[in-house]
């Protein structure tokens, strides 16, 4: 059953980001002739599909290619359908991550109107690597092992709407008032600037190799044909891609200075408070910058190309800026809304109340975990991350239950188990025999499936990963003398 459409005084509706989860599918329509034609041919009231990936951000495929957009700028006619779909069987964290990682990996891909039309035709060509909106959704869910029915390469928006894999999220749309619509219309759109720069980079690189669709393809091209290094670097520099961040900093200087943020809050405290909470919740954004930084560091060390070195510099800058935003947001909340970030004793009602405001999903997961274990006690953690230590220390200072280590082996020393949560190259190449010797109990929990289970078990470790059978070392039979 479809939810009722929203009626607003301005005739506009939008998305409530507080009700959205990564992996949600958003279906929309507008008043354009193209939308009308798609709705007619697919026998539905929607014409476009998007995937929600993180705080206020969706990724979609349209006639500009595959790109991210800010949900706060997405305003739709109130007399047109706007639906949010979520799997009836909720995505696991790993599945949601796979869906979001897949659509991000396709950013920059070209759009194919021909194959989009074929999605509603019985005559279809072999799918190319280009994208259209509902293909992107279908392929992303297929990559996570959650097929939506039919051919993922040729799903239509109407197919998604009718898929039995989804249910409607009925409270995820909101009315958009005139002031909000005008405010966003007057703000420079940073995502639009990134779309322009991304398309410019890839258009120039396609002159070297027309098969290139994404930035992963650019990396593969440079590894296979390093003689293109200078030309690819020129493409990045000429496009403005390496400098898009400057416009964002210049447009929102209050996000990087506690004094400026305090001044900005005088006339809009609620908006600043909401921004700060969103910033603290958005762990995925900072982690992505850090993963890209480490990736380009590894590429630069291995191939010594100028393009990789320049992109490493870019992501180092983005990590610094994001860390600064986090620190300023946290400092403002501690000064002006301490109840929202109060630490206190872990797992008390006060502690859960503060976490519920910052990250409701995480609070629910923690409550469920403690309830399943029938305890209110947690565990002591010694953590290490190749890129995120500075930000982690700023957000979560060391305490009786949390310590930070200088490397992975130091973090594992004397531990009851090791848990891998990120897929850094450093974690994928650990000396597992050395790691085993540091542990109190030889248990490795791998949340990123970095290792072959049997290989780990053969080294004497019990290995638990995601979606695969656990592997344990063979136990030698002990003969008992009679």
Percent of the chain with pLDDT strictly greater than 90: 54
Tens digit of each residue's pLDDT (9 = 90 or more) over 9-21: 458 899 998 899 9
If asked whether residues 227 and 193 sit together in one domain, one would say: yes
Residue 181 falls within a domain, yes or no? no
Q: How far is CA 285 from the centre of its chain?
A: 6
Residue 183 falls within a domain, yes or no? no
**Does residue 334 or residue 155 have the better pLDDT?**
155
352, 373, 394: which is the final residue of a domain? 373
If asked whether residues 164 and 218 sit together in one domain, one would say: no
If asked whether residues 205 and 321 sit together in one domain, one would say: yes
If asked whether residues 152 and 193 sit together in one domain, one would say: no
Residue 1 falls within a domain, yes or no? no
If asked whether residues 364 and 428 sit together in one domain, one would say: no
pTM: 0.74
336, 357, 390: which is the final residue of a domain? 336
Which CATH number is 157's domain given?
3.90.1720.10
Q: 3-state SS string over the chain?
A: CCCCCCCCCCCEEEECHHHCCCCCEEEECCCCHHHHHHHHHHCCCCCEEEEEEECCEEEEEECCEEEEEEHHHCCEECCCCEEEEEECCCCCHHHHHHHHHHHHHCCCCCECHHHHHHCCCCCCCCCCCCECHHHHHHHHHHHCCCCCCCCHHHCCHHHHHHCCCEEECCCCEEECCHHHHHHHHHCCCHHHHHHHHHHHHHHHHHCCCCCCCCHHHHHHHHHHCHHHHHHHHHHHHHHCHHHHHHHHHHHCHHHHCHHHHHHHCCCCHHHHHHHHHHHHHCHHHHHHHHHHHHHHHHHHHHHCCHHHHHHHHHHHHHHHHHHHHHHHHHHHHHHHCHHHCCCCCCCCHHHHHHHHHHCHHHHHHHHHHHHHHCCCCCCCEEECCCCCHHHHHHHCCCECCEEECCCHHHHHCCCCCEEECCCCHHHHCCCHHHHHHHCCCCEEEECCCCCCHHHHHHCCCEEECCCCCCECCCCCCCCCCC
If asked whether residues 301 and 437 sit together in one domain, one would say: no
Q: Binning pLDDT at 50, 70 and 90, where does residue 475 land?
A: low
Which CATH number is 473's domain given?
3.40.50.720
Q: Binning pLDDT at 50, 70 and 90, where does residue 62 land?
A: very high
Q: At what angle do helices 190-206 and 229-239 cross, to 10 degrees?
A: 150
Residue 5 falls within a domain, yes or no? no
Residue 208 falls within a domain, yes or no? yes
Tens digit of each residue's pLDDT (9 = 90 or more) over 395-405: 677 776 788 99
Residue 430 falls within a domain, yes or no? yes
Contact of 109 with 59, CB cutoff 8 Å: no
Question: In the prediction, which pLDDT does 108 show?
Answer: 97
Say which residues have a Cβ less than 8 Å from residue 68's Cβ, sequence separation at least 6.
Answer: 53, 57, 58, 59, 107, 191, 194
Q: How far apart are CA 325 and CA 40, in angstroms?
A: 46
Q: How far apart are CA 289 and CA 390, in angstroms?
A: 14
**Looking up tokens 């954004």, which residue turns up?**
285
Q: Binning pLDDT at 50, 70 and 90, where does residue 476 land?
A: very low
Q: Binning pLDDT at 50, 70 and 90, where does residue 478 land?
A: very low
Tens digit of each residue's pLDDT (9 = 90 or more) over 266-316: 878 888 998 888 887 776 666 788 889 889 999 999 999 999 999 999 999
Question: In the prediction, which pLDDT does 3 show?
Answer: 52
Compute the mean pLDDT over every residue in the chain, rounded to the nearest whole number.
87
Q: How far is CA 477 from CA 13, 254, 277, 459, 472, in A?
A: 68, 66, 56, 18, 15
If asked whether residues 266 and 321 sit together in one domain, one would say: yes
Residue 182 falls within a domain, yes or no? no
Q: How far apart are CA 382 and CA 411, in angstroms?
A: 5
If asked whether residues 64 and 159 sit together in one domain, one would say: yes
If asked whether residues 133 and 148 sit together in one domain, one would say: yes
Is the confidence at residue 213, as pLDDT, over 80? yes
If asked whether residues 55 and 166 sit together in one domain, one would say: yes
311, 336, 361: which is the final residue of a domain? 336
If asked whether residues 164 and 304 sit together in one domain, one would say: no
The C-alpha torsion from 274 through 276 and 278 to 282, rounded to 10°, is 180
Number of domains in the chain: 4
Contact of 167 with 207, CB cutoff 8 Å: no
Residue 281 falls within a domain, yes or no? yes
Domain holding 480, by residue range, is 375-482
Q: Name the nearest CA neighbour of 426 among 270, 307, 245, 294.
A: 294
If asked whether residues 311 and 368 sit together in one domain, one would say: no
Tens digit of each residue's pLDDT (9 = 90 or more) over 72-118: 888 888 888 999 999 999 998 889 989 999 999 999 999 999 999 89
């Amino acid at each position: 059953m479809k939810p009722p459409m929203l009626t607003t005084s301005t005739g506009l509706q939008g998305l409530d980001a507080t009700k959205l989860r990564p992996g949600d599918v958003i279906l929309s329509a507008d008043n354009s002739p193209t939308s009308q034609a798609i709705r007619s041919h697919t026998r539905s009231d929607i014409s476009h599909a998007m995937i929600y990936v993180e705080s206020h951000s969706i990724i979609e495929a349209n006639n500009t290619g595959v790109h991210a957009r800010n949900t706060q700028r997405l305003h739709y006619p109130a007399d047109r359908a706007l639906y949010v779909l979520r799997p009836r069987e909720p995505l696991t964290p790993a599945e949601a991550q796979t869906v979001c990682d897949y659509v991000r990996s396709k950013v920059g891909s070209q759009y194919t109107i021909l194959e989009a039309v074929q999605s509603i035709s019985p005559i279809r060509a072999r799918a190319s690597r280009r994208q259209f909106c509902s293909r992107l959704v279908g392929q992303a869910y297929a990559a996570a092992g959650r097929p939506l029915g039919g051919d993922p390469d040729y799903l239509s928006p109407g197919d998604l709407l009718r898929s039995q894999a989804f249910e409607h999220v009925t409270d995820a749309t909101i009315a958009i008032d005139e002031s909000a619509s005008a405010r966003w219309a007057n703000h420079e759109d940073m995502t639009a600037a990134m779309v322009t720069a991304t398309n410019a980079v890839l258009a120039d690189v396609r002159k070297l190799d027309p098969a290139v669709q994404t930035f992963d393809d650019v990396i593969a091209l440079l590894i296979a044909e390093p003689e293109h290094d200078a030309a690819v670097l020129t493409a990045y520099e000429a496009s403005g891609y390496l400098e898009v961040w400057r416009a964002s900093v210049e447009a929102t200087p209050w996000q990087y200075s506690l004094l400026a943020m305090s001044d900005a809050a005088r006339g809009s405290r609620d908006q600043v408070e909401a921004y700060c909470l969103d910033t603290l919740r958005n762990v995925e954004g900072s982690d992505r910058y850090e993963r890209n930084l480490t990736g380009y560091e590894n590429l630069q060390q291995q191939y010594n190309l100028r393009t990789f070195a320049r992109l490493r510099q870019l992501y180092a800058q983005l990590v610094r800026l994001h860390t600064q935003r986090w620190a300023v947001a946290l400092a403002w909340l501690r000064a002006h809304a301490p109840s929202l970030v109060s630490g206190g004793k872990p797992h008390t009602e006060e502690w859960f109340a503060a976490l519920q405001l910052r990250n409701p999903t995480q609070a629910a997961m923690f409550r469920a975990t403690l309830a399943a274990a029938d305890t209110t006690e947690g565990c002591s953690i010694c953590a290490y991350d190749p890129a995120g230590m500075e930000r982690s220390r700023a957000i979560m200072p060391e305490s009786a239950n949390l310590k930070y280590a200088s490397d992975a082996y130091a973090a594992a020393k004397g531990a009851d188990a090791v848990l891998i949560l990120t897929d850094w190259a450093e974690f994928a190449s650990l000396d597992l025999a050395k790691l085993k010797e540091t542990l109190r109990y030889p248990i490795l929990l791998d949340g990123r499936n970095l290792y072959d289970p049997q290989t780990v078990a053969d080294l004497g470790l019990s290995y638990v990963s995601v979606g695969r059978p656990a592997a344990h070392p063979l136990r030698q039979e002990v003969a008992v003398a009679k």
